[in-house]
Amino acid sequence: METIKGYVDHIVYRNEANGYTVFQLEQKEEQLTCVGELSYLEEGELVELDGHFTVHKMYGSQFQVETSRVCSPTDALSIEKYLGSGAIRGLREATARKIVEAFGEETFRIIEEEPERLAEIKGISERKAREIAEQLEEKREMRQSMLYMQKYGISPKLAAKIFQYYGNRVYRILEENPYQMADKVEGVGFKTVDEIAMRAGIHVDSDYRIRCGMVYILLQGVGEGHIYLREEVLLYRTEQLLGVVIEQPGLHLQELSVEKKIVVKNVGDETRVYTSAYYQMEWNVAGMLKALDIRFEITEEVLRQRLEEVEVCEDMKLDQMQWEAVRQAVRKGVLVLTGGPGTGKTTTINAMIHFFRREGLDICLAAPTGRAAKRMTEATGYEAQTIHRLLEINGDPEKGARGFQRNEEQPLETDVVIVDEMSMVDLPLMSALLKAMVTGTRLILVGDCDQLPSVGPGSVLKDIVDSGCYAVVKLTQIFRQMMESDIIVNAHKINQGLPVRLDNKSKDFFFLKRMEPELVMRVILALVQEKLPAYVQAKPFDIQVLTPTRKGVLGVEKLNEMLQKYLNPPSEKKKEKLQGDRIFREGDKVMQIKNNYQMPWEIRTSKGMTVDKGEGIFNGDMGIIKEIPVYGDEIVIEFEDGKLVRYSYELLDELELAYAITIHKSQGSEYPAVVIPLLNGPRQLYHRNLLYTAVTRARRCVTLVGSEAVFDQMVQNGNEQRRNTSLTERIRELEEWKTGV
């Protein structure tokens, strides 16, 4: 570690997001390039830097800054350099020189204590003098506070956010209760604030720490899909997190309730603890559904006549339950259409669309993901959008902002909304959709209740069906042409817990018995690289490996490492970016693993002309790395729907390789062929509807590789992980109030 000192002569580059700064440091008569996270530095400042010299392959010798200190300029030359550097808006070098000539080394004291004296300088009015003093004080306070926060391990980027929110109160906050920052400052979570509090000497059994820990555990539960946690689970997890025994849990829960951060409800022998936001969200969803569920009058004779016309004109034949689904869609404000693969949901949706269009009604088709929306478009012939795009994103709904332009103030202008793949829709997204709908708009929810629940919190489709308060039509008949597919037939057997023949006499459903992980991996590679592409007439990249787990030999991480090595090997023609222990390479198949509502994208023609642009890339979107420029700090990805997106290096943690993905991530998608490794795993994870979801992702071929015993155990294990939700109860309570029961 070396220490150097000098003036910040010129800031070459600064990334405002993370504070990464490249600047020229002036030392006597030479200049040195320095780099580091130094968002608070200004041109002209005198700084002392600790770090080490490095040699960049393009830019040569640089000083990598580890820590820094801003020194107060004391001599006249230093003061003049600082004032004339541009750090003070509107103060030019010539004026700075005049000020220093007038006041010399007393300049800073004069500005701070007698700012009106600056008006003695020609060209400086009293107003300008006050502005200079205010800017100098503001920058001094911010700089001092950011340097102060460094000793708590707070990065410059985060320190700037904290100071922006609290100003000079930050010192008291850090000393008394840093945990309140978790509620107030974006980017400060419990883990971060707990480390700060430890450095600040806050006791491990502090009331603030315990309450903040409780809220953190509730939010962790939300991340697992739960709307609430049982009190005993909340307390146990909080104690494990904090490493303390909570002496008076009731008092902490009461205090959090008074602060309106949580809601505590006693249901029978169970005490449930909700975050206030999600408790209210369930009530709102229940209320908005009730408001939409009005009856539309039409005689049976007229309805039958018009539906028969649709059958004739569109050359389709509906069975009894499909007829009933269309009837209910016409007459009810809210309808749920559910059923497994091959039962005719798509045909029924098409019948509804044609019926409503003949009535002159406007229809919006939507799905939770881009893949699902694309499939819906292909199946119906009408444009379908993601729900996010339908609602016109303009912010980040997950951060509490009014994230959609379409809401209760500017609702959707349509008569019918049909949402496919509803099992993937979580509670926040359902809430946003319902806010954008007005009474008189029909809502038709289509999905398979036996699929895995949404990645986000809640179990919306299942809860609505279980409430028994809305029209639900379940299609159960497998159509004759679908009976020829063992994918369809075996999926239904799996769903019903019935034995499945694994004799490999099928044309589209295979089981390759391998008991060693290394052999399973070898078979997977052969299938993806050689066997299946020719069999299903697709590219290797179109064959999707679906695995139950992230970790382990047959988890996502190991499989991607192996598949990348053979499907997209290193080459002098392919540029790479090392991110932690992962390599991203041009040509790699990747997936976005979190919603990014502000990510800009554009769609271009083959000649490079932009034909569409927008914002938002979402959890589960898949694409190919097209370019990793030699110069710059970003990679270019083309997603499946043609969207080109530029990812800065700091956003690469939102991406992962996607040659293999978890079964959960495959929801709403369909692939020409899927390969599913199955060896021993945790019983609570290896359940029936996980297997059912994986098998139903394949269009032409399913190949399972592994243990028949594990396959049979999954078929028999109908105990999927239960989610703590209460939307069913909220819906029933509203129904009881309405009927006076």
Asked if 589 and 541 touch (Cβ cutoff 8 Å), the reply is yes
**Cα distances (angstroms) measured from residue 51 to each of 4, 34, 55:** 8, 10, 13
**Dist. CA 419–CA 465, nearest whole Å:** 15
Asked if 551 and 687 touch (Cβ cutoff 8 Å), the reply is no
**Rounded-to-10 torsion of CA 224, 230, 235, 237:** -20
Residue 548: CB atoms within 10 Å: 25
Beta partners for residue 230, in sequence order: 272
**Dist. CA 315–CA 297, nearest whole Å:** 27
Q: What is the phi/psi pair of residue 269, to 5°?
A: -90, 5
728 annotated to a ligand binding site = no
**Dist. CA 376–CA 615, nearest whole Å:** 22
Q: What is the phi/psi pair of residue 191, to 5°?
A: -60, -45
Helices of type H across 300-426: 300-314, 320-331, 345-358, 370-380, 387-390
**Dist. CA 249–CA 262, nearest whole Å:** 14
**Cα distances (angstroms) measured from residue 613 to each of 591, 601, 643:** 20, 6, 8
706 annotated to a ligand binding site = no
345 annotated to a ligand binding site = yes
Which contacts (CB < 8 Å, 24+ apart) does range 733-739 have?
733/286, 734/286, 734/287, 734/290, 735/290, 735/467, 735/469, 738/290
**Dist. CA 327–CA 329, nearest whole Å:** 5
287 annotated to a ligand binding site = no
**Dist. CA 357–CA 330, nearest whole Å:** 12
**Dist. CA 82–CA 93, nearest whole Å:** 9
What is the token pair recorded at 305? 């006549």
Residue given tokens 């003949």 in the structure block: 358
**Dist. CA 279–CA 300, nearest whole Å:** 41
Q: What's the farthest any 2 CA atoms get from each other in the chain?
A: 98
**Cα distances (angstroms) measured from residue 424 to each of 276, 427, 657:** 23, 10, 22
Reported as type and span, the H/E element at residue 662 is strand 660-662
739 annotated to a ligand binding site = no
**Rounded-to-10 torsion of CA 36, 37, 39, 43:** -10
Q: Which parts are annotated binding residues for ATP? A: 342-346
Annotated binding site: 342-346
